[in-house]
A and B are shown apart, each in its own frame.
Chain A
Amino acid sequence: QKEVEQNSGPLSVPEGAIASLNCTYSDRGSQSFFWYRQYSGKSPELIMSIYSNGDKEDGRFTAQLNKASQYVSLLIRDSQPSDSATYLCAVSSGSGNTGKLIFGQGTTLQVKP
């Protein structure tokens, strides 16, 4: 079992729809959770970080964390073609700068105009 698992996709949604990206992790001691966006041929860039159970909203993006279920998700509202990219879930066993950061394989999102 991989430490951080994501469905590789592609996930295809029409423009304006809500895209839902999911991630599960195996280490119950994980404390920090991140979503990165990576355009083809580019480096990852941070979209959201979340540290406690519940929802965290930033513009069109909402991260959801459920530690009991070892599940973290990213919702993208009003999806735009420019959101088409691979979304990487990353999980850290430590807080702050401690602990390993493990990346999932990523989910490719395609937003069709």
Chain B
Amino acid sequence: EADIYQTPRYLVIGTGKKITLECSQTMGHDKMYWYQQDPGMELHLIHYSYGVNSTEKGDLSSESTVSRIRTEHFPLTLESARPSHTSQYLCASSEFKTGTRTFGSGTRLTVV
């Protein structure tokens, strides 16, 4: 079944650690996104990609980086985690014809 997968689901990590949040999709979509969402707040786009070797920054400034080496894989990396990075990170991909976003289950990151 076509889907979009995120791991880990929950992550508690110490300040200064390097982390990578994984996102993979079997939807066959070219376009992928990373959103950040704090409780009760809007989703903010932090990165997106049109396809392999294409990445762009979104509307919300983020210290994270992304890569797109394979169509189905769009990992997000924080080189040095800080408490201000505590949030939920949602990965999504979109269908070409409608632009409808399909979201993964999210990673809830806590930096202590």
A and B interact:
yes
Chain A interfacial positions (CB closer than 8 Å to B):
8, 32, 34, 41-46, 49, 88, 90, 92, 94-101, 103-106
Question: Do B101 and A106 have beta carbons less than 8 Å apart?
Answer: no
Does B110 interact with chain A (Cβ within 8 Å)?
no
Does B47 interact with chain A (Cβ within 8 Å)?
no
Question: Do A92 and B102 have beta carbons less than 8 Å apart?
Answer: no
Known interface pairs A44-B43, A88-B43. Does A96 touch B98 (Cβ–Cβ under 8 Å)? yes
Does B90 interact with chain A (Cβ within 8 Å)?
yes
Q: How far is the CA of A1 from the CA of B41 in the complex (A)?
A: 16
Known interface pairs A88-B43, A103-B42, A103-B43. Does A44 touch B99 (Cβ–Cβ under 8 Å)? no
* Total cross-chain contacts (CB, 8 A): 54
Question: Do A49 and B100 have beta carbons less than 8 Å apart?
Answer: yes
Known interface pairs A32-B98, A94-B99, A97-B31. Does A42 touch B105 (Cβ–Cβ under 8 Å)? yes
B74: A residues at CB distance < 8 A: none
Which of A8, A44, A97 interacts with B95 by CB under 8 Å? A97
Question: Do B101 and A97 have beta carbons less than 8 Å apart?
Answer: no
Question: Do A43 and B105 have beta carbons less than 8 Å apart?
Answer: yes
Q: How far is the CA of A112 from the CA of B47 in the complex (A)?
A: 38
B89, chain A: closest CB distance, angstroms: 10
Q: How far is the CA of A90 from the CA of B45 in the complex (A)?
A: 12
Fill in one digit per residue for B31-56: 1 if any A CB lies within 8 Å of its CB, else 0: 10000000011110100000000000
Please list 17 pairs of residues, one from A and one from B, whose beta carbons are closer than 8 Å in the complex, sorted by A's number.
A32-B99, A34-B101, A42-B106, A43-B103, A43-B104, A44-B90, A44-B101, A45-B103, A46-B101, A92-B99, A96-B98, A98-B99, A100-B45, A101-B101, A105-B40, A105-B42, A106-B42
